[in-house]
Structure 1
Amino acid sequence: KFIGFAGLDPHKGMDALAELTRMVTKHGMRGAAIDPYLARIPASHARYYPIYAKCCELDVPIVITTGPATLVRDAVMDDAHPRHIDRVAADFPDLKIVISHGCYPWVNEAVMTVHRNRNVYMDLAEYEEQPFSEGYI
């Protein structure tokens, strides 16, 4: 069984909010997804905050793509660091956040972010057998 998440561009402003609403209410998407390294701004940037608020309003989770972004030209690795997700989790305690790809290579920081925030979850897809991944267990 598959479920869909609406990929959003924070640079689209209000159009991103309308797109999220439409994708959830009319097309059955079950949440939102963002990629900070593609947007070239960290997850804690103010451009994302209206998206987070809309997710809370619609009661849907958000998946935040993390990791080293090795295939994205000129990506800034720090944009995917878990400290930004920790900030968002504190600012939006009702927002359900899924850290994708385990925030590799920041394994310890990602685990601590999940541990300290009741609203943050993590998937380990792709990096479960990489160096330092034993920290996930």
Structure 2
Amino acid sequence: MAMNLDELIAIDFHTHAEEPCCGPRDDGYLEFQAAMATYFRNPAGANGMLPTVQETAAYYRERKIAAVIFGVDAERETGFRRYSNEEVAQLAAENSDILIPFASIDPAKGKMGAREARRLVREFGVKGFKFHPTMQGFYPDDRMAYPLYEAIQEEGAIALFHSGQTGVGSGMHGGMGMRLKYSRPIHVDDVAVDFPDMTIVLAHPSFPWTEEGLSVATHKPNVYIDMSGWSPKYFPPIFVQYANSILKKKMLFGSDWPALTPERWLKDFETIGIKDEVRPLILKENARRILKM
């Protein structure tokens, strides 16, 4: 099925494949999802009923929105088995009119991870890779990750980094072991210098380091920002100001499905004073350009 971007109203740059993918989930997974549901005030995950990839595709198809979809490989830090990158890519291929496959690889996997990345791009059509420094327990500028970045850059794929505070582990005992320090956007600055031909996307408004994220995206030509994980009505004024002006060609619509729905995000987006000429850039055209679609 070919994707007809002209008929779609938007590209959601940030959706998760979350449902139990490997049989019964590991101990603590349902509690983790329930805490996420409480944080985002969203019933998804509260009772362990998360949308499948096929259900996600049907949901987005009905709304004429394309979706970048991925799992998160945080096995080493969380003990939760990752969603198979190959399975996500295959499901995306079955729904190629609406889903765009990304993958996730723990950078601690070194050369093995780099080989996996190359294979996923070449054999499965994966367009990018999701990193979650807080969940994966690493600083993005740790040289441990560089073999994986080299593979991503050479294959022409995108690196998407979670930034700022996360809803993951929020309110749980010890924050579920999640350390916020790993997700400061300044740690992506070195990566942008050392891999200038790799397209980098900072996910979320980077709270409480919002201005730091805006600074990196302003200074580095290869760094973009997806606006996911927050309802737009809570965006800091400076974030909206930059989206409307200096970074209007570098901001990307993203929801954080299923934690946040695109309906909620798009409804609130209408209220924050984005200029008419900027709105289509954020909703679709910027993503279309960096995805080379």
TM-score (norm 2): 0.45
Residue identity in the other structure for 2:221: R
Return the alpha-carbon distance in structure 2 between the equivalents of residues 56 and 108 of structure 1: 26
Residue 129, structure 1, aligned to residue 226, structure 2: no
Alignment match, 2:135: 38
SS of 1:67's equivalent in the other structure is coil
Report the Cα offset of residue 129 of structure 1: 3.1
> Is 2:156 the counterpart of 1:52?
no
> In the alignment, what sits opposite 1:82?
185
Any gaps of 5 or more consecutive residues in structure 2? Answer: 1-97, 170-175, 241-293
CA distance in 1, matches of 2:220, 2:107: 24
SS at match of 2:160: strand
8 Å contact from structure 2 (residues 164, 185) kept in 1:
no
1:1-137 superposed matches below 5 A: 1-72=98-169, 73-127=176-230, 128-130=232-234, 133-137=236-240
How far residue 71 of structure 1 moved from its aligned partner, in angstroms, is 2.1
**Count of residues in correspondence between the two structures:** 136
Q: CA deviation at 1:31?
A: 1.1
Q: CA deviation at 1:69?
A: 2.5
User: Does structure 1 retain, via aligned residues, the 8 Å contact 2:160–2:201?
Assistant: yes
> Counterpart of 1:38 in structure 2: which amino acid?
M
Residue pair 2:114, 2:147 contacting (<8 A) in 1 also: yes
User: C-alpha separation between the residues in 1 aligned to 2:233 and 2:210?
Assistant: 12
Structure 1 partner of 2:81? none
* 1:1-40 CA distance string (max 9 Å, x none): 2211110101111111111111111111111111111221
- Normalised by the length of structure 1, the TM-score is 0.92
SS at match of 1:3: strand
In 2, Cα distance between equivalents of 1:88 and 1:81: 13
The one-letter amino acid paired with 1:114 is A
How many percent of aligned residue pairs carry the same amino acid? Answer: 28
Greater shift, 33-42 or 109-118, is seen at 33-42
Give the secondary structure class of the aligned counterpart of 1:50. helix
